[in-house]
Amino acid sequence: MGIFDKIKHAIFGEAEAAEPVTGSAPKTEPAQAPVTPSAVPSPAPAASSAQSNPATTPAMTVDIVPILDAAAKKSGQKLDWRHSIVDLMKAVGMDASLAERKELAAELGYTGDTNDSAKMNMWLHKALMKRLSENGGRVPADLLD
């Protein structure tokens, strides 16, 4: 699992954990009904894909702001995840070392100088927000600029 996937799982996993009360109804009947007709050959795999689909489908948007605000508060540190990739990684309980950030930069396609950590960090934060948005995260417009 890559670093982006770990961050995404930390954020989206919190959303999934908060949704079983409202998300359990779609998981049973409605999720299986649309999948069963399209997966006629084998009902068993259709059921398993129906269960995994709601958690990973970009159609299900996850508002990252309350999740990251709560994670930052829970950390007990003063973290500015909205502007700092280091603080965002700390908020979700990850190692925010330069080595980890360089690995994330490689995953997200950073082509600049990774030794210029200030520039890389700013790029990483914007790229991460964009990628979270592309993967079903509801990211405020001011964080996507």
pLDDT in tens, 18-38: 544 333 333 333 333 434 333
Percent of the chain at pLDDT exceeding 70: 68
Mean pLDDT along residues 140-144 = 93
Contact status, residue 110 vs residue 119, Cβ threshold 8 Å: no
Per-residue CA distances from 117 to 84, 102, 106 (Å): 12, 9, 13
pTM: 0.69
